[in-house]
């Protein structure tokens, strides 16, 4: 029967801990009912490094079942995300967590064990050298920092959950629901997973986090030149200057602009422009009822079909599905007419 060890530490996400363990608990309940077995399949323990209680995000106190000495040999180790206010604080947190748990995680994986992590905890797996050459995901707003720090990891920030060999990675908070489904599917099979999804009201078709993303993380880089370039692009979506003209306005060469842009954001000015147009289109889909053809023109695209394909590829869902999921224009007008 699968045994799961949940690592807990200062400033970890209590919601991630509870979501994963409650998923296992509900899976146990329905497995026993369906199969008529008295003993539930999953067991789990929470483990802190020294066996002492820790304070999670929001001030929630988590009391462990044991210390690192009690880790034994679980089938899966789950590492919840951790709060860090800045890159410097993340650096210190990762250093401490890797010192406490890096060897244990590597030894566990080398013994053919499974590992799962969500949000910023995926950084710890990369720090421990477990993700080099592997596919992983993390929260979309951490993607730039992650790529910069771990260039050998094949990051897919558009995904809610990834699995490569025996390592699961998930995005933030609610992605732990889908992570719970994947863990149950791995050990109990897809039928048990679908039962859990129905009981917990989890959308098994929700596989992408990009519909929730925005450009905010792409302007938090501290490079004034790039920020001025981004401002010019954002203010001229329908009349975008070519690269040479943009560079001239900023008094730099196009080669310098591209290099600085890639260093600061991990992408080219053209890619940033495409993302900016998609973001503007999202806001219009959310707040208006104008057609997607009109939206495409408003954000600078004359080829509507091309922009529709670009939007769908970048967002993970079609424009009509995005409006259905996030739009509020119709409801606001309906309430206003009452």
Instruction: Supply the pTM of this predicted model.
Output: 0.69
In the three-class reduction of DSSP (H, G, I as helix; E, B as strand; rest coil), residue 86 is classed as coil
The yes-or-no answer to whether 3-208 and 216-334 have a common fold is: no
Who has greater pLDDT, 144 or 38? Answer: 144
- Is the pLDDT at 212 greater than 70? The verdict is no
Per domain, the residue ranges of the chain are 3-208, 216-334
159 strand-pairing partners: 208
Residue 215: the pLDDT is 59
- pLDDT at residue 253 tops 50: yes
Tell which wins on pLDDT, 217 or 233. 233
- DSSP letters spanning 20-41: HHHHHHHHHHHHHHHHT-SS-S
Digit-coded pLDDT (tens) for 282-321: 888 988 889 999 999 999 998 999 999 999 988 888 999 9
How much is the pLDDT for 9? Answer: 97
Residue 213 has pLDDT above 70, yes or no: no
Strand partners, 155: 136
CATH (residue range 3-208): 3.40.50.880
Q: What is the pLDDT of residue 43?
A: 96
> Average of pLDDT values for 111-139?
96
Which residues contact residue 135 at a Cβ distance below 8 angstroms, ignoring those fewer than 6 apart?
154, 155, 156, 162, 164
**What contacts 24+ positions apart, CB below 8 Å, involve 233-238?**
233/269, 233/272, 233/273, 233/276, 234/276, 237/273, 237/276, 237/277, 237/280, 237/299, 237/300, 238/298, 238/299, 238/300
For 46-88, what is each residue's pLDDT tens digit?
999 999 999 999 899 999 999 999 998 999 999 999 987 677 8
Q: What is the pLDDT of residue 224?
A: 78
Give the confidence band of 34 by pLDDT, cuts at 50, 70, 90: confident
Across 158-238, the runs of DSSP E, i.e. the strands, are: 161-164, 167-170
Class of domain 216-334: mainly alpha
Bigger pLDDT: 90 vs 168: 168
Count the alpha carbons within 13 Å of 136 in the hemisphere toward its beta carbon: 33
At residue 74, the pLDDT reads 97
User: Which of 38-42, 202-206, 250-254 has the lowest average pLDDT?
Assistant: 202-206
pLDDT of residue 245: 92
């Amino acid at each position: 029967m699968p045994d799961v060890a949940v690592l807990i530490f200062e400033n970890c996400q209590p919601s991630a801990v509870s979501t994963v363990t409650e998923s296992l608990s509900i899976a146990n309940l329905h497995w026993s009912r369906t199969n008529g077995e008295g003993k539930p399949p999953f067991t789990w323990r929470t483990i802190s490094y020294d066996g002492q209680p820790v304070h999670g995000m929001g001030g929630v106190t988590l009391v462990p079942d044991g210390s690192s000495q009690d880790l034994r040999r679980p089938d899966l180790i789950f590492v919840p995300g951790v709060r860090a206010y800045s890159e410097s604080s993340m650096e210190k947190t990762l250093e401490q967590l890797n010192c406490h748990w890096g060897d244990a995680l590597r030894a566990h994986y080398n013994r053919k064990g499974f590992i799962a992590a969500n949000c910023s905890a995926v950084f710890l797996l990369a720090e421990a050298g477990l993700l080099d050459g592997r596919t992983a995901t993390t929260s979309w707003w951490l993607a730039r920092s992650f790529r910069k720090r771990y260039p050998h990891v094949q990051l897919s920030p558009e995904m809610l959950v990834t699995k490569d060999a025996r390592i699961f990675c998930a995005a933030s908070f609610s992605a732990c629901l889908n992570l719970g489904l994947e863990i149950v599917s791995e050990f109990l099979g897809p039928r048990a997973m679908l039962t859990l999804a129905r009981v917990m009201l989890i959308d098994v078709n929700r596989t992408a986090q990009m519909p929730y993303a925005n450009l905010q993380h792409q302007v938090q880089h501290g490079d004034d030149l790039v920020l001025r370039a981004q401002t010019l692009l954002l203010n001229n979506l329908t009349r975008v200057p070519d690269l040479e003209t943009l560079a001239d306005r900023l008094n730099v060469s196009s080669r310098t602009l591209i290099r600085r842009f890639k260093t600061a954001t991990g992408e080219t000015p053209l890619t940033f422009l495409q993302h900016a147009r998609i973001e503007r289109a999202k806001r219009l889909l959310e707040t208006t009822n104008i057609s997607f053809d009109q939206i495409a023109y408003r954000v600078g695209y004359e080829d509507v079909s091309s922009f529709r394909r670009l939007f769908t590829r970048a967002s993970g869902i079609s424009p009509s599905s995005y409006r259905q999921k996030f739009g509020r224009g119709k409801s606001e007008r309906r309430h206003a007419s009452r």
